[in-house]
Amino acid sequence: MKIGIIGAGRIGGGLARQLAGAGHQLLLSFSRDRAALDELAIRLGPSAGTGSPPDSVAFGEVVVISVPWSVLPQALEQAGPLDGKIVIDTTNQFGGPPLPAEGQTAAAFNAARMPGARYTKSFNTLTSAFQAEAAGRTGDERVVQWLCGDDAAAKEVVAGLIRDAGFVPVDLGGTAGCAVMEAPRRPGAVYGEEYRLADATAVVDAVRAGRPIPPTPRYGPA
């Protein structure tokens, strides 16, 4: 699949590495240091190139947006229209403004900032270091990447990419109800916590029912 990456830093660069390893084609963009971006693409191999944010959007069937919250307006302005593109937003709402309204999720807020996009949010709950270490675990030890979005077909595509990146996808529902996967880390949320599939279903059930989620699972060394 052709994937545009806007922001190839710790999260976007790590995801690019995982997806290149799975055979996807990548076009990296958005950097204050084009030479460093070119070097990253060279390290990723012949399936990766670099360009401008609009190049990433034109190239990608899927566009990953992985920039600091405060820079998101600038990245979106440079990217241009996202009409019809499946977007994976990895951002967390640290900093700002602009910020979501009281009671509004960051996912819903960002989806509204990307009109026409087939918006999803994922890869945002775990540190880049942990994601790099945990990608590719097998069997029951596979780590969950939560996702949310209001376009079911887009989420199916993103779920496939989550598998390709070495994780297990778990769909938390629409953007309006995904607060448990958003920052900050706190009791009663999955943000910042490792989950495996066996413990994820009960979370989804609780979120759907509007109940508090079960206590955070604790795992021994993988």
Residues that bind ligand NAP (CB under 6 A): 7-12, 30-33, 36, 66-69, 71, 74, 90-92, 94, 124, 127-128
Q: How far is the CB of 73 from ligand NAP (least distance, A)?
A: 11
> In the complex with ligand NAP, which residue's Cβ is closer, 47 or 90?
90
> In the complex with ligand NAP, which residue's Cβ is closer, 36 or 153?
36
Q: How far is the CB of 177 from ligand NAP (least distance, A)?
A: 20
Residue the block writes with tokens 């995904």: 178
Q: How far is the CB of 31 from ligand NAP (least distance, A)?
A: 3
Q: How far is the CB of 210 from ligand NAP (least distance, A)?
A: 26
Region at 138 (left for phi over 0; alpha for psi -120 to 50; beta for the rest) = beta
> In the complex with ligand NAP, which residue's Cβ is closer, 95 or 212?
95
Residue nearest to ligand NAP (CB): 9
- Per the CB < 8 A criterion, the answer to whether 158 and 149 are in contact is yes
Q: How far is the CB of 36 from ligand NAP (least distance, A)?
A: 5
> In the complex with ligand NAP, which residue's Cβ is closer, 127 or 201?
127
State the Cα–Cα distance between residues 73 and 28, nearest whole angstrom. Answer: 18
> In the complex with ligand NAP, which residue's Cβ is closer, 133 or 140?
133
Q: How far is the CB of 30 from ligand NAP (least distance, A)?
A: 4
> In the complex with ligand NAP, which residue's Cβ is closer, 52 or 216?
52
